[in-house]
Amino acid sequence: MANFFKIYSGDYSKDGYNGGIEDGKSKRVTNRFRFFKAIHPINYIWNFNNSYDSFMQNYKEGYLDGQKVVNEVYTTNRPKGDLMEKDSYEYHLKLIEDFESKLDKLKPYLDDISKQYQRQINAMAGAGFFSNHIIPLQNRYLTFQSKIDSLQSLIDRHKQQLSLHQEKLNNLINSPRR
């Protein structure tokens, strides 16, 4: 029954993956003609495109997995070199420092956006755009600038909170050493 369904649907995913992993583990070159040996003769006429696509996509994936097994390439989420455990204070301190550096990069970016917006409005006014167009843009710019200013002050408040957290973490790091 499974073979009938495979022929009817043209789904040769499993065959493709198994063939690919076998070739990958055996260190053979990719063999795209393996497809013609794997499919049933009816699928040369019936659902050929689906048969071919399902086989080849999974063959490629299986081949890469076979090469990974042979070459012992496995991915891990652990960083190499200095291993910091996620349950250490140093790890959390590093996260805070990284976040703080991103906030430091955000402030000049926001200033630059605001200046670009103002320059664009000035260029439009200099190019002779009518005041019917310039005045609404200037009003929008004032609203935009007030939002940028409130965002800048929010960043400053967050940086103050971060410095308090850094201080507490440093105290916790140094407390067992006393």
Mean pLDDT of 23-27: 82
Percent of the chain with pLDDT over 70: 87
Q: Which of 85-89, 100-104, 153-157: highest mean pLDDT?
A: 153-157
Phi, psi (degrees; rounded to nearest 5) at 75? -95, 145
Q: How far is CA 158 from CA 101, 113, 151, in A?
A: 12, 21, 10
Rg of the chain's alpha carbons, rounded to an integer?
31
Q: Looking at the whole model, is its pTM more than 0.85?
A: no
What rounded mean pLDDT belongs to the chain?
A: 82
* Model confidence pLDDT, tens digit, residues 46-82: 777 778 788 888 888 888 888 888 777 766 555 544 4
* Model confidence pLDDT, tens digit, residues 129-177: 898 989 999 999 999 999 999 999 999 999 999 999 899 888 888 887 6
- In the structure encoding, which two tokens stand for residue 30, read together? 């990719």
Q: Which of 10, 27, 19 is nearest to 59 (CA)?
A: 19
Give the integer Cα–Cα distance in Å for 139 and 118: 11
